[in-house]
Structure 1
Amino acid sequence: MTDGFRRSACRIPPLPARPLNDSFAAFSGTAGGRSCRITLARHVRSLYACLLILTWPSLSFAFESFVVRDIRIEGLQRISEGTVFNYLPVREGDTLDEKQSAEVIKALFKTGFFKDVRLEEDDGRLIIFVEERPSIASVKIDGNHDIGSEDLLKALKGIGLAEGKVFDRQILDKVEQELRRQYYSRGKYSLKIDSQVTELPRNRVAVNINIAEGRVARIKQINIIGNNAFSDEELIQDFELSTSNLLSFYTKDDQYSKQKLSADLERLRSYYLDRGYINFEIESTQVSITPDKKEIYITINVKEGEIFQVEQVKLTGKTIVPPEELVPLVRIGPGDTFSRKLATETQKGISDRLGEEGYIFANVNMVPDINQERKTVNITFFVDPGKQVYVRRINFQGNTKTRDEVLRREMRQMEAAWASTTKIERSKTRLERLGYFQEVNVETPAVPGTTDQIDVNYSVTEKSSGNLTAGVGYSQFQGIIFNAAVTQDNIFGSGKRVSFNFNNSQINTIYSLGYFNPYATLDGISSGFDISYRDTNTGYSNYVANYITNVFQVGGNWGLPIGEFDSIRTNLDYSNTKLKTTNQSSTQIVEFIDEHGSEYSTYSSSLGWTHDTLNRAIFATSGGAQRLTGLFALPFSTLQYFKANVRLEQYFPLTQDLTLWLNGDIGYGGGYGGGGNSVLPFWEHFYAGGPNSVRGYQPNSLGPRDSRGYAFGGNSKLTGSVELLFPVPFAGEKLKSVRLGTFVDGGNVFANSPELSNLRFSTGISAKWLSPFGALMFSIAQPLNSQAGDRVQHFQFNFGSGFQGM
């Protein structure tokens, strides 16, 4: 009995040193004529509790309830009494019975603050004895290299294992399990983790996690057993997992991952199902590791089955649109080898077509009827269009700078109209093509409480559409380029563009001011103007005809959309050109000045047609653009001439990462009217060679030459390119602003009409980077048929200016 208290004396044997589970035992009985409540530590073995009861014959387990007139808490060190009282399910005046006493103990253990709780009663006073869990004084991690300590400690803090937190052994066990999972996913199966918990004064502990990462276990072999139709190499070539190769140090494809293996097994299954093996099965998969945990062997047992042919294809259900419109969408037919891929494409094609009519939730199911004896399959595409839905609202989110009207005028899907998947996606593409947003996403949630309405929600991530720049660039053709520019492509969020530029290089000094409004009218008619002044001294190029020009130009432009993908553009311009010779000017230039003078006023009109189906303005992967332009110097100009140009480009997506880009450029110019001033001035000649033309040859160096051997350009031009484009391998989203390519270029310029026998060709590799400082392009090219006198340049780059083929 303790001074001031009458307490029941109960004694229990000592508990195990380290509890192994979270169970606790509460016993009630009588001792010395008073009721007694004893609670064992929460972490106690069930077996130990049973033995304790069997060896405790003196206790009579009969609990006597009582009215709590006071509550006292003993054993607190860091935790306040108020905190404990907040968790207690009993208050003064309550009757405490056996059930409630168990709830009290359970509530206190649930807080995680205590490792032992004991209840006693003395004349109606409830006394709660607690033993606090220790606090964590420090957490230290040693031996980790693959996972940074800073990231690891941050993650540990998020789950409660951090300095100042209450220590819980269970949390430490979970940390060890998660560490093993992380390292196993990296192929380090020889991992060893040794966690040490050191007791410190004032009920504190220091946690040390020692990690021995070990070496990465590499995939030594992948075996497929049971395959007769295809070799192991054919089946494994599309796997994400692989045996070690030259790029494995970067791709990590030789490190085993359960998730990657599951994906590869699905690829294997698809490979067979796309080739008619309907009964293909993966019977088992074994993954074994050598005793030293350094090498992994994967064995896949398969059963191929037989090839099945398609005997009949049916289209049934409620097709909505005329069947003759759906038949061309069926990609698989009688006599074909069964292919799940083609069947899936058929399902998608039909669903998309119904989506154009407002049935965006249409469901097209493929029902195969397999004849095992004849090795044939009848395919039925069952069409369930669902309900026709219309759009209630179109909402925009994320456009904090750009006005809603700028986005809304790009919409091809209208509110209160039947929903069309094609129009919704086209609207998304048009938003992406504005150039104001880094990312555009669209969702079509159903309107709550309705079955025939949806909202279309576009979320955008804005990027800076305005630039105030001053910098230095370099071009192998123009040399060092000093530039300063104030450009706002989306001024005040209105979608209008205003720009002022200053550009100074060895060859050109340019001042320009421009304005463009893409929606001068609600119908999408655009308008704008440009004013510029340019000084050009070609003598610094060392290989282009030498002359000096000073050109002042002012003009207006208008654009008229004539369809979703087509537009017409016209310009009216006035330019004043002053021409000067240098010591290196050729006979052709001197004679031109003698005949036509040195100052020229040109009033020109140009007309252009564009058909543009590119999916993006920058780094497109599908679609194309065809541009036809014609420029005419009006009859009252100093010189009467014309220029016509056709540019074609098309992107073909081959795979998710590979894109084939074809482009061609054809130009022709000359004088008209038959008079003495009917001539195409030499500064309007076409040029070829260099980064945006035929790579591997110096810029503008191909074609006719003047009397001094410098490139003089020509009246016609023919160039083209075939390029295979792809992102930086294995970089994912990290380097999405970089695009690589391998190409074959061809072309030349000619004094009159093109001569195919004089075309120059080259091949090489290229890289294009939209850096924060400007567009950077470089290429390494090898001319294939250079001739004597051609200026070859294998490595070419351009920084600080735009480039084609983006």
Structure 2
Amino acid sequence: MQFKRYGLRAASLLAALLLVVHAAWAAEPFKIRDIQVEGLQRIEPGTIFASMPLRVGDTYNDEKGTASIRSLFALGLFTDVRLEINGDVLVVVVEERPSVAGVEFIGTREFDKDVLAKALRGIGLAEGRPFDKALLDRAEQELKRQYINKSLYAAEVVTTVTPVERNRVNLAFTVSEGEPATISEIRIVGNKAFSESTLRNLFDLDTGNWMSWYTKSNRYSRAKLNADIETLRSYYLTRGYLEFQVESTQVAIAPNKQDMSITLNVIEGERFVVAGVRLAGNYLGREDEFKALVSIQPGEAYNADRVAETVKAFTEHFGRFGYAFARVQSVPDIDRSTNRVALELRAEPSRRAYVRRINVTGNSRTRDEVIRREFRQYESAWYDSDKIQLSRSRVDRLGYFSEVAVETSEVPGIPDQVDLTLKVTERPTGSVTLGAGFSSSEGLGLQFGVSQQNAFGSGNSLGFQVNTSDVNRLILLNTTDPYFTQDGVSRTIDLYQRTSRPYVETASYALETLGASLRFGIPLTERDTIYLGGGIERTTIVPGTYLPVAYQTYADQFGYSSTAFPLTLGWGRDGRDSALVPTSGTLQRASAEWSTAGEVRYLRATYQYQHYVPLTKQYTFAFNTDLGLGKAIGGRPYPLFKNFYGGGLGSVRGFEAGSLGPRDATTNLSYGGPKKINFNFELQAPFPGAGNDRTLRLYTFIDTGNVYGADESIDPSDFRVGGGIGLSWVSPMGPLRLAVARPLRKFDGDRIQFLQFQIGTTF
């Protein structure tokens, strides 16, 4: 009790003392005649005045003074702030924080320095910003986090702060990166239905092999692990294991910070079979249409992918009728006694909606009309999910934007209307290219090009290209207006000079073509386009070694130079999932060239068909057909310089490029023919050690085909056949194809080539 009374007296004494001190420090209120600022070096006085709640003419009191000091400290620009009173003048005395003069990174090999500088800007540490010692710890932690994301757990960061003139500091981050931590073990515990090795093969992460220097698949990444876990979950859920779950994930790193182990504990649950599918809810009286969209089959194992596909198809089908807010749920009714599951698809279409307005944002350079003309969803029309998705895809295919997204928002107060906002992120569309390539058939080739796909934001393209090799040379100037008419008819103008030398020797004969063409592209459907055009070409036979007798005879009869006025007709459809690394889909191209005027008369047609079939996640079967046919018209012979050639990559591998077909009687060298037929079969597989990386693949192949003269009939018994293995790599210089082949059917006089490669070609 006495202790409590003593504490009470001490508290009273302290309170009284504080009141006396406060009375001594308190300032009498006064009207501010002027406000002065002292101590500024880089910061403008306006920043001070704008942040303070006091103005000239206001009445000063201690409460407002305290609020002013608090607001100035909140700017984060000062290490000290105090207020002094000189009569009726308020003096603000500040001490500025030093600013960051420069940021330097030493010892960084794994990262580009710009990447690290951007990471530090994200936490507020950058050149020109105020320096705060508290940020240094955060900066070091952020740098370590960046290295941990690269599996460099042993990375150490030492910071040096060097003061410089004008109250600034230089920051130097010295990094000792160390060696990356690698995965030494991946364990999956609790699996019974599938072996551990089968499940581990699904992962992109692994324990390393001789290709790990390229794939880096043995470096731990949380994002990659999460992706592998989702792959594992999908594997089970698509095979009937409805209740599968990953119970826990343990990632352990050894004390040396070099070895890591990953353990996944899974609960498989029972395998369920679909007993039936029932529709519930409001289906707009179109139950039969929705039933046709169901991809879930009773009697088969439960497949989460098919359930998701069905729900998505239902939602999109509602969207076709304007129901932008339709909700579809899959509700499973599980019978664990029989391991069967009945699915109920509940639908609530909500309300039908119109599109009130379509907004476009993010296009600072590209004109609005260039984007809007790709839209198939219109304002004041019913909301249509198909047209919206098609519109987004068409804008994305322009190639002017790195990101394209469509957002749907309700119109406040109007429940049956929505606004669409198309958000785009522009990317550079102009480029200057300079490159080099080498192939076994064409030798060294140099490339130079200047192109602008979106000239002045108009959507028109301009281009100039120079390609040269020991065999083929090209100079091309072209321009394309994709909307020459409002209906989407494109117009392309080409001016070109091409030199083709059938043999690498520089003294061999050559074909020189100078021409110009005008083409129009007419869209038939969203996927099909036909091309109509015409042009003028002048082709010259340049004498040299290996000039076939047939060419000499043609030149003696019709001259070394010939002029043609070809009319062109083409059609194209590309349904592949990727242009560089396709795994599914079909590509078709057809073209016809008809010269009815000039000194050369002919008809020339080509057709190409490619089809890709995904056998598994890692294996793809590919098939290619390439046909060509030329025919003389007007009583004149078919021009030899329009012949087709066969052999080599893109044709029958194992035979020298351009060596198939009719041969010259003197040199026994092929000069091509007006008939060509090729068939290519490939089985594409992962490169050993590269895991699921599709940019580096092995393939085995069988090719067959031949080239025939005008008077020869196509006879399969004359087909050359080649087979072998190859490597495809999407390299920084372009797609590279290498093939090691041997003839499986050859004839006397055939020119064999076992190793063939080229950069810049596919299939």
Shared fold, TM over 0.5 = yes
CA 1:317 to 1:105, structure 2 compared with 1: closer, same or farther past 3 Å? same
Distance 2:554 2:462 in 1: 38
Q: Quick one: which of 260, 279, 290 aligns to 1:296?
A: 260
Structure 2 counterpart of 1:686? 644
Task: Report the counterpart of residue 663 of structure 1 in structure 2.
Answer: 624
- Give 1:716 deviation, angstroms: 1.8
Find the aligned partners of 2:179 and 2:436 in 1 and give their Cα distance.
48
Please say if residues 133 and 167 of structure 1, whose CA atoms lie closer than 8 Å, have aligned partners that are also in contact.
Answer: no
1:446 aligned to 2:375? no
3-state SS of the aligned residue for 2:641? helix
Aligned position for 1:703: 661
Once residues 545 and 340 of structure 2 are traced to their aligned partners in structure 1, the CA distance between those partners, rounded to angstroms, is 84
Matched, 1:457 2:422: yes
1:721 matched residue in structure 2: 680
**Matched residue, 1:230:** 194
Alignment of 1:210-225 (within 5 A): 216-225=180-189
Letter of the 1:718 partner, please give it.
Answer: I
Corresponding residue for 1:755? 716
Native 8 Å contact 2:652 2:720 kept in 1: no
Question: Cα distance, 1:368 vs. partner?
Answer: 0.6
1:106-142, Cα deviation, whole Å (9 max, x unpaired): 7798677999999999xx99x99x9999979999988
Partner of residue 35 from structure 1, selected from 13, 16, 20: 20
The corresponding residue for 1:13 is none
Query: How many residues were matched structurally?
Result: 734
Q: Does 1:385 align with 2:349?
A: yes
Residue 569 (structure 1) shift: 3.7
Match of 1:744 among 680, 701, 704: 701
Q: 1:364 to 1:656 in 2, by over 3 A?
A: farther
Contact kept? 1:279, 1:305, Cα under 8 Å: yes
Compare CA radii of gyration and give the structure with the larger one.
Answer: 1
Per-residue CA deviations over 1:719-740 (Å, capped at 9, x if unaligned) read 2335678999999xxx99x887
* Matched ranges for 1:134-153 at <5 A: none
**SS of equivalent residue, structure 1 residue 444:** strand
Alpha-carbon distance change, 754 to 491 in structure 1, aligned in 2, over 3 angstroms: farther
> 1:339/1:793 Cα in 2 relative to 1: closer, same or farther (>3 Å)?
same
The residue identity in structure 2 corresponding to 1:457 is L
What residue is the counterpart of 1:563 in the other structure?
Answer: 525
Kept in 1: contact 2:548–2:671 (CA 8 A)? no
RMSD: 5.8
**Displacement of 1:453:** 1.9
Q: Aligned pair 1:628/2:590, yes or no?
A: yes
Q: 1:609 to 1:390 in 2, by over 3 A?
A: same
- Counterpart secondary structure, 1:221: strand
What is the CA deviation profile of residues 273-324 of structure 1, one whole-angstrom value per residue up to 9, with x for unaligned ones? Answer: 3222233344444444445554333333333222111111112222237333
Query: 1:617-659, CA deviations, whole angstroms, 9 ceiling, x for partnerless residues?
Result: 777776534333444554x876765433222234557899987
Displacement, 1:701? 1.6
Give the TM-score of the pair, scaled to structure 2. Answer: 0.74
Please give the secondary structure, in 2, of the residue aligned with 1:36: helix
- 8 Å Cα contact 1:429-1:615 kept in structure 2: no
Contact kept in structure 2, 1:394 and 1:456, CA below 8 Å = yes
Question: Displacement, 1:398?
Answer: 5.4
Structure 1 SS opposite 2:207: coil
Deviating more after overlay: 647-656 vs 207-216: 207-216
The 3-state SS of whatever aligns with 1:364 is strand
8 Å contact from structure 2 (residues 735, 762) kept in 1: no
Structure 1 unpaired stretches of 5+: 1-24, 38-61
Secondary structure of residue in 1 paired with 2:194:
coil
Q: Secondary structure at the match of 2:409?
A: coil
Q: Which amino acid aligns with 2:719?
A: N
Structure 1 counterpart of 2:626, one-letter code:
D
Higher relative contact order (CA 8 A, sep 6+): 2
Kept in 1, the 8 Å contact 2:429–2:452? The answer is no
CA contact (8 A) 2:325 2:351 kept: yes
The alpha-carbon deviation at position 337 of structure 1 amounts to 1.1
Deviation at 1:512, TM superposition (A): 6.9
Kept in 1: contact 2:157–2:176 (CA 8 A):
yes
What amino acid maps onto 2:586 in structure 1? G
Indicate how the Cα distance of structure 1 residues 645 and 215 shifts in structure 2: closer, same or farther if over 3 A, else same.
closer
AA aligned opposite 1:783: R
Change (3 A) 1:537 1:340: closer
In 2: Cα distance, 1:403 partner to 1:224 partner = 54
Structure 2: which amino acid aligns with 1:563?
T
User: Per the alignment, in what secondary structure is the counterpart of residue 711 of structure 1?
Assistant: coil
- Give the 3 Å change call, closer, same or farther, for CA 664–400 of structure 1 in structure 2: farther
SS of 1:565's equivalent? coil
Residue type at the aligned position of 2:315? S
For 1:309, the equivalent position in structure 2 comes to 273
1:365 Cα deviation (Å)?
1.0
Distance in 2 separating the partners of 1:770 and 1:193: 32
CA shift, 1:366, in A, is 0.8
Alignment of 1:413-432 (within 5 A): 413-432=377-396
Q: Quickly say closer, same or farther: Cα 1:347–1:244, change in 2 above 3 A.
A: same
> Contact (CA 8 Å) 1:669, 1:715: kept in 2 or not?
yes
- Describe the SS at the equivalent of 1:764: strand
Q: CA deviation at 1:669?
A: 3.1
8 Å contact kept, 2:429–2:453: no
Amino acid corresponding to residue 320 of structure 1 in structure 2: L
Percentage identity across paired residues of the two chains: 34
Map 1:132-171 to 2 at 5 A: 159=123, 170-171=134-135
2:749 to 758, 778, 789: 789
Report if the CA contact (8 A) 1:29-1:36 is conserved: no
Superposed displacement of residue 325, structure 1: 2.7
Aligned pairs for 1:94-113 (under 5 A) are none
Q: Is the 8 A contact 2:353 2:382 kept in 1?
A: yes
3-state SS of the aligned residue for 1:388? Answer: coil
Distance apart, 1:443 and its partner CA: 1.2
Q: How does 1:489-528 map to 2 (within 5 A)?
A: 518-526=482-490
Is the contact made by 2:683 and 2:701 (CA closer than 8 Å) also made in structure 1? Answer: no
Deviations 1:217-260 (A, max 9, x none): 44332323322212222222233443343344455544445555
Match of 1:649 in 2: 610
Contact 1:740-1:768 within 8 A present in 2 as well: no
Distance 1:27-1:668 versus aligned 2 partners, 3 A rule: farther
Cα deviation for residue 336 of structure 1 reads 1.3
